[in-house]
Amino acid sequence: MLTRLALPALVAALLATGPAGAQMARTEAPKETAKVVPLSKADVQLSFAPVVKRAAPSVVNVYASHVDKRSSARTSAMEEFMRRFFGEPEGGRGPRGDRAQRSLGSGVLVDADGLVITNNHVIDNMNEVRIALADRREFEATIVMRDTRTDLAVLKLKDVPKGLVPMPFGDADALEVGDFVMAIGNPFGVGQTVTQGIVSALARTQVGSADYQYFIQTDAAINPGNSGGALVDLRGQLVGLNTAIYSQSGGSHGIGFAIPVGMVKAVVDAARDGASVVRRPWLGARIQSVTPDIADSMGLDHPTGVLVASLQAKSPAEEAGLKRGDLILTVDGQEVADPEAFGYRFALKGVQGQARFGILRGTSRQTVAVKLAPAPETRPRDVLKVKTRSPFVGATLVNTSPAVAEEMQVDFPTEGVAVQAVEENSPAAFAGLQKGDIILSVNGLPVQTTKDLERVTRNSLGAWEIAINRDGIEMKSVLRG
């Protein structure tokens, strides 16, 4: 079960290899960037304390709450009865009968001006946030940006104190399996805690906690409350943001996942530039995984890269000269093994300049330059929320465009009406509508825009015949009004 997260270190060492090995270690000191295993008792007694002293002041606790203001006069007799005999509802009740929900997580100071990065799920649906520094000073914070697609959020201290210690960004691409890392956060609300382990795997793509699947896996103990905390290297630099664990009990089983610092930096940079959302480049092509059979047919030693399955007209992919059947192997020299890895690498490129794709076309290896630009909103969204009694009540509907398709990570036709969101326990949910559905027709009348849908739902009817497109499959259903 994958769970999102809201001992002093012991170094596994080899036994000393004898006097000759010890003498070599003394006389031939490795370069600073070299990675070596311990060779002596003295090596085993080394401590991570200097790294912790550098990194720990940059890690904060995040206390988020959602308070619904309620006058005590509105408290019903039944609510008062339930409170007296069964205790406070979850989250408690404020002094005037306010209802409160709370969450606890961690965060990382990334800017001397008070910017903090954390996980979006730590502050999801919350409207009040407080930050506690490592020295236990507390400050109110504002939510600067939420990026649900990466499960990242940027906060800012309202009153910025002097002497903040931001954590420098490291290089997640330089990590190797087996490298030492440390996780710093606030597990279970016990206070700042440091755990140590190694990088267990890189580029994990089947985690399922965000749209962009590309995680660092570590066996450093990560528990609930560590969400948004720092994964640091032995230089005290941020290499990842702890986000999820695999657990059947809710506790750490030694399988934790962190968002690589490259994605963290992209979100922080967007917030620094004053953007309210992160803008990502649009490719305008549908890609697919390479199976062993496809790899064999293309003369590859093993499955790798992503296959171009289709192209949209006038898209950056088409303009760059990509063709159906091309195999994309690299993005600016970085290897991409599957669609998730490609999505991560391409998303980091921003929306200016070019990205160079290394491709295989037939038996020829080539390089193509793809323009970096955001997906265009070719027509207004014209957001619609149907009020008339119908199966669409509770759904948010929008006109399709490349921009909407890119945001929702689905393929849409250039014209149509898409279901952008569905409220729980609404008529739309009970009717089976899902995010990403395309409404094709209602009662035999074609639907091209939200205005079309508004017209055909203007009057309540006894029955509704709805045709939708879901993942390329046309479906029809008849529902009673």
Instruction: Decide if 127 contacts 100 (C-beta within 8 A).
Output: no
Question: Ramachandran region of residue 472, left (φ > 0), alpha (ψ -120 to 50) or beta?
Answer: left
Residues 6+ apart with CB under 8 A from 48: 9, 180, 182, 194, 196, 234
Examine the residue annotation and report whether 151 is marked as an active-site residue of this protein: yes
Residue 67, number of CB atoms within 10 A of its CB: 16
- Residue tagged active-site, from 58, 106, 111, 151: 151
- Residue tagged active-site, from 106, 121, 252, 437: 121
Examine the residue annotation and report whether 135 is marked as an active-site residue of this protein: no
- Residue tagged active-site, from 65, 227, 247, 315: 227
For 230-374, where are the alpha helices, taking DSSP H only?
261-272, 292-297, 316-319, 339-347
Residue 56, number of CB atoms within 10 A of its CB: 19
Rounded to whole angstroms, the Cα distance separating 364 from 358 reads 11
Burial class (CB in 10 A: 0-12, 13-18, 19+), 304: middle
Rounded to whole angstroms, the Cα distance separating 96 from 87 reads 16
Distance, C-alpha 316 to centroid of its chain:
25
Count of H-run helices and E-run strands, the chain: 12, 25
Residues acting as catalytic residues: 121, 151, 227
